[in-house]
Structure 1
């Protein structure tokens, strides 16, 4: 019987129990945290049989002037096949910071029409704390997969969509950056990038959804989102470059909020584009 996930989040004990399931693919989606001093350990230890998912190169449009831009459906399909992803795969993705870039990997698969994917709660730190097996980092070879992209356009928003949302107040825009960056009281980690936020957007730092690298309980997440949302409207998530916005998307999905999208260029694109409105405080 092929393995399937029942939730967008799985715990370490579940993954350890199913680690050698026939159709399981474990992906390491670690990237360096923007503005942080934590270096990733992807060349040191990993979960056994893990495959590195290179967000910044293979799974981004590197021709774009903005970081982490979503790739084409064709590029995503080709790169996913190269790392052995099949139509019947069950994917669990983790990163070395708890829950950080793993949520972006989860969101990319959802955006390209693949639902049998989950994030490891607490990531590699939780895996190690719980004493489950690790191996030295190694590139495992895999048979080319048969994954097929099915682009879900409603999952992604672009600058014109956000401008339309501002004009017609049709969505809630939630910003995953810190309150200091949102209010321009802290500098952006990217040099020369203006501070502030998209007009009408609300601040919801992604860190508010986490405790020690793990997602808060479903009840806590429900309270967090409901405290921000006064009406039933679709949600658009934004952040610095489209990475931590996906943590908000993951949290929303956990509590059953599915009418959501991510502004792919996020603040980097917005603040770099001339003549777009910016608010501070």
Structure 2
């Protein structure tokens, strides 16, 4: 992979590649009114379900979607067939929503031969490319090795120390209403508001009709909010859509970015942290 994003046409042409692994990383939006029933669910042919919320998050952590340790990630990636020479394409049913989280997790683990499917399943099905009902494909164990890249992740202490820093820009990916504290948080017991000195850039502003905006448009969006070229720290509700911004920054050729893994769920439910409204 020489780019972090591929088209459905590219994937269709390469479906029979020997080292290709396709992941369905669909999760429901936390604000969703209704989930797709299992009877309606379809997936790209030969796709493997990548379970972000259970298998690939630390279920013993106090906050949802907490990334695994390098060792745990390595073991679970091997179990679903990932090897050192694998070529991964990841998608989700909402176009661009949870799939960049998987892309970001692999970047964190030092694996870069992975791309997000632009337009996701809606774009694939619109072309009448081959689909199937969810199938329990059983790949043989892989030899994936994690090479943890600590600069790609931030924790609460890092964010707290960055609030007054001239070196970092904290970007909040949630909706404008949640950023301003005028909308209730979807998670119970999480306060409203925002991290002091953070700026708002909802992830929906870099996605258009389920596709990522162009490299040129993405660069313009990021340069507009960050004219001094500070290091980005992306934050959202629980780390999922912050990864969309990290993905967008990568497409735009921006390398100085990281994701606050706990994001607002952790910040807004931890006593003693400063909150602006």
Give TM-score, length-normalised by structure 1. Answer: 0.96
Task: Tell me how far 1:212 sits from its aligned partner.
Answer: 1.2
Give yes or no for contact 1:100–1:247 (8 Å, CA) kept in 2. yes
Aligned length: 276
CA distance in 2, matches of 1:95, 1:29: 5
- Aligned in 2, Cα 1:146/1:162: closer, same or farther, shift over 3 Å? same
Deviation, structure 1 residue 64: 0.6
2:20 corresponds to 1:24: yes
2:89 aligned counterpart, secondary structure: strand
The change in CA–CA distance for 1:29 and 1:42 in structure 2 (over 3 A counts) is farther
Shift of 1:40: 4.3
Partner SS for 1:64: coil
SS in 2 for 1:119: strand
Taking the TM superposition and a 5 Å limit, the aligned residue runs for 1:109-128 are 109-128=106-125
CA contact (8 A) 2:189 2:269 kept: no
Residues 89, 116 of structure 2: 8 Å contact kept: yes
Mapped partners of 2:37, 2:144: distance in 1:
28
Structure 2: 5+ residue runs without aligned partners?
A: none
CA contact (8 A) 2:166 2:230 kept: no
What is the distance in 2 between the residues matched to 1:38 and 1:81? 33
Q: Deviations over 1:89-114 (max 9, x none)?
A: 00000001001000000000000010
What CA RMSD, in Å, does the superposition of the two structures yield over aligned residues?
Answer: 1.1
* Secondary structure at the counterpart of residue 145 of structure 2: coil
Bigger mean CA offset, 192-201 vs 152-161:
192-201
Structure 1 match to 2:263 = 266
Instruction: Give the 5 Å matches for 1:1-281.
Output: 5-40=1-36, 44-280=41-277
C-alpha distance in 1 between matches for 2:189 and 2:112: 38
Deviations 1:54-91 (A, max 9, x none): 00111111101100001011110011001100000000
The secondary structure found in structure 1 opposite 2:28 is coil
Are the aligned partners of 1:30 and 1:42 in contact in 2 as well (CA < 8 Å)? no
Q: In the superposition, relative to structure 1, how do residues 42 and 261 fare at CA in structure 2: closer, same or farther (>3 Å)?
A: farther
